[in-house]
């Protein structure tokens, strides 16, 4: 969700909000379902997804189950040892319309996974780590494929319960209530001596309770007023079974948020204005870094205000421009303040700073969208953002040896920053069957305090795709072929002194996709074949922190089958 509407939701930035909601159950009384199977050549992955649903006026229901297993991934030249994964997930959705005015939805999901972490990213001593940062092939690389997952690895469990109700007070007024409960359990396992690898090096339990009320009023003359209140309580506990200091301390966070949004949609000009207030109190119990170890307690309270204004104008029925200006304040996150240890998934030691200040930013965006004769579609966006006390993860000139191995050190720091960028997307419908799409993204991050480029900014990239839809062949329908191209430029803004290794070079990825559908009596069968990195390019991506140790993924062929009934 872009623009002013993003302030309806709790968040920490002026960027877009990704809103993930389960699809509503179709009001069809018969039993319907889908079965999906996929295979990936890279990792020899197999996955199966089954979905059943049925609507009845007394109760509508949907069941979804997914299992997936993958082995060692492969670059263009070698296997990435211990990068397999296993997952088993389940979801239940219930819907009921009590009356024409009252609707209730219940949703429960269980996500359970086991992930391997690249063995070559966990090094035992300083000398080998320095060598690993310069090697083309990681340490511990093997020539054979394996499904086995050993240490280092991660086991995660997420259980989510959500209850949502709508009540139509009148034709123009609506009230929504939502309660959510999420329980997360995360365990990380290191390569430990004396048979202790089965003892987790991190054992983290987190419980979140969320309550929200929203009110919408559709006023006269195309005016809409929305307002709401949100309460969120998070309890984070490190289970005492690891024998190692946790990277994130125990804490309790209580959040209260309130927002109001006013919108008017005219024939040519639309107007949006939103404001938001957020309060958060924290109680943190950390273990001191220095010896003798002791419990260090922190208490903090934060009050933040945010506001955003949006204007949209249609110059013609085909062309429209939108301007958004917003102010946002955010607290330093728990990990930014108190991290102290190994972030296993990215194979680096991260250190927080308890003295970090609140981050404030002003952002403006200007977009233009339009079309020419229903053939050429154009979308452009430019943005400028000033951030005071911008919090970022800074690579330090240090490699540290710990009982968990040798790792590069990163520290959360602050500076005044400026982000500038633009996105351009064009689509040309050459014929009824042939479409060409192009997209270019540019961003530059500037450290205004130190007169340096910002680290970990995305590389500029260019995307082009060509899609052709063939005429039906017998009973085969929607036969489509797509060729996609992605070119990622080298990140040349970062100085060599700002990172442990120089940014990787530019790279080009070629992909293709062929898909078709067919009706078999009461079943709809869809098949697609997809190729990623078709040329088996050797590359490393700047934002992937495993690039310190290994290349990115090579050729991957994907087969997908879907049967709907």
Residue 48 confidence (pLDDT) above 80:
yes
Q: Is 238 part of any domain?
A: yes
Q: Does 154 fall in a domain? A: no
Region 431-444: mean pLDDT is: 98
Mean pLDDT on 129-157: 96
pLDDT digits (tens, 9 = 90+) for 12-35: 666 555 667 788 898 888 999 999
Q: Which of 276, 347, 346 is nearest to 308 (CA)?
A: 276
Q: What is the CATH number of the domain that holds 519?
A: 2.40.170.20
The answer to whether position 428 is within a domain reads yes
The chain-wide mean pLDDT, for the chain, equals 95
| pLDDT band (50, 70, 90) for residue 291 | confident
Please give the Cα distance from 103 to 214 (Å, whole number).
14
**Burial track 326-341 (b if 16+ CB lie within 10 A, e otherwise):** bebbbbbbbbbbbbbb
Who has greater pLDDT, 345 or 455? Answer: 455
pLDDT for 430? 96
Q: Residues 184-192: what's their mean pLDDT? A: 92
What would the mean pLDDT of 514-531 be, rounded to a whole number? 97
Across residues 138-149, what is the average pLDDT? 96
More confident call, 288 vs 332: 332
- What is the spatial distance between Cα 279 and Cα 264, in angstroms, rounded to a whole number? 29
The stretch 478-488 carries a mean pLDDT of: 98
Structure confidence at residue 10 as a pLDDT band (50, 70, 90): confident
Residue 87 falls inside a structural domain: yes
Residue 153 lies in a domain: no
pLDDT of residue 79: 98
Which of these ranges, 237-246, 387-396, 437-446, 546-555, has the smallest mean pLDDT? Answer: 237-246
141 found inside a domain: yes
In tens, the pLDDT along 201-256 reads 999 999 999 999 999 999 988 999 999 999 999 999 999 888 888 999 999 999 99
Please check whether residue 262 is in contact with residue 224, taking contact to mean a CB–CB distance below 8 angstroms: yes
pLDDT per residue over 305-328, tens digit each? 999 999 999 999 999 999 999 999
152 part of a folded domain: no
**pLDDT at site 548:** 96
Residue range 471-482: average pLDDT?
Answer: 96
Amino acid 247: pLDDT: 93
**359, part of any domain:** yes
Q: Give me the number of domains the chain comprises.
A: 1
d(CA 209, CA 250): 17
* Pairing state between β 348-351 and 405-429: parallel
Which parts of 239-268 are beta strand (E)? 250-265
Asked whether the whole model's pTM tops 0.85, one would answer yes
Q: H-helix or E-strand containing 474?
A: none
What pLDDT is stored for residue 195 in this prediction? Answer: 72
Lowest mean pLDDT among 8-12, 296-300, 368-372, 457-461: 8-12
Domain span holding position 406: 4-32+41-147+162-564
């Amino acid at each position: 969700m872009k623009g002013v509407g993003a302030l309806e939701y709790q968040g920490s930035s002026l960027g877009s909000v990704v809103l993930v909601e389960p699809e509503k159950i179709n009001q069809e009384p018969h039993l319907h379902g889908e079965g999906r199977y996929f295979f990936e050549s890279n990792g020899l992955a197999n996955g199966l997804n089954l979905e059943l649903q049925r609507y009845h006026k007394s109760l509508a229901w949907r069941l979804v189950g997914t299992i997936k297993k993958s082995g060692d991934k492969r670059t263009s030249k070698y296997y990435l040892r211990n990068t397999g994964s296993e997952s088993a997930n389940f979801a239940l959705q219930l819907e009921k319309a009590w009356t024409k005015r009252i609707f209730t939805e219940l949703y429960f999901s269980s996500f359970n996974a086991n992930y391997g972490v690249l063995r070559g990213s966990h090094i035992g001593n300083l000398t080998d780590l320095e060598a690993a940062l310069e090697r083309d092939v990681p340490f511990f690389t093997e020539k054979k494929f394996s499904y086995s997952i050993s240490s280092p690895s991660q086991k995660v469990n997420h259980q989510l319960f959500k209850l949502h109700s709508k009540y139509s007070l009148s034709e123009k007024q609506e009230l929504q209530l939502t309660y959510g409960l999420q329980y997360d359990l995360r365990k990380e396992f290191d390569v430990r001596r004396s048979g202790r690898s089965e003892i987790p090096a991190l054992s983290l339990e987190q419980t979140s309770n969320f309550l929200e009320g929203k009110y919408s009023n559709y006023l006269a003359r195309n005016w809409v007023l929305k307002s709401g209140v949100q309460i969120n309580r998070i309890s984070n506990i490190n289970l005492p079974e690891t024998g190692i200091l946790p990277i994130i301390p125990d804490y309790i966070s209580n959040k209260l948020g309130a927002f109001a949004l006013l919108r008017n949609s005219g024939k040519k000009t639309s107007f949006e204005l939103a404001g938001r207030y957020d309060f958060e109190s924290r109680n943190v119990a950390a273990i001191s870094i220095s010896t003798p170890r002791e419990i260090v307690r922190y208490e903090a309270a934060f009050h933040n205000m945010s506001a955003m204004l949006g204007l949209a104008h249609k110059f013609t029925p085909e062309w429209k421009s939108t301007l958004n200006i917003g102010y946002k304040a955010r607290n330093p996150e728990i990990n930014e303040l108190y991290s102290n240890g190994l972030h296993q998934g990215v194979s680096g030691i991260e250190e927080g700073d308890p003295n970090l200040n609140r981050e404030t930013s002003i952002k403006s965006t200007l977009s233009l969208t339009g079309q020419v004769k229903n053939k050429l579609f154009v979308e452009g966006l430019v943005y400028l953002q000033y951030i005071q006390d911008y919090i970022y993860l800074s690579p330090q000139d240090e490699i540290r040896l710990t009982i968990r191995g040798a790792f590069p050190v990163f520290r959360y720091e602050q500076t005044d920053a400026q982000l500038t960028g633009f996105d351009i997307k064009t689509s040309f419908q050459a014929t009824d069957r042939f479409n060409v799409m192009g997209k270019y993204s540019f961003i530059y991050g500037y450290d205004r305090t130190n007169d340096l480029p910002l680290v970990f900014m995305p590389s500029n990239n260019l995307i082009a795709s060509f899609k052709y839809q063939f005429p039906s062949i017998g009973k085969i329908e929607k036969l489509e072929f797509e060729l996609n191209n992605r070119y990622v430029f080298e990140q040349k803004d970062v100085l060599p002194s700002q990172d442990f290794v120089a940014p990787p070079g530019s790279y080009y990825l070629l992909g293709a996709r062929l898909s078709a559908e067919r009706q078999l009596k009461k079943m709809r069968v869809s098949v697609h074949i997809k190729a990623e990195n078709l040329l088996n390019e050797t590359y490393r991506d700047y934002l992937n922190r495993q690039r310190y140790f290994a290349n990115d993924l090579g050729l991957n062929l994907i087969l997908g089958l879907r049967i709907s009934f």
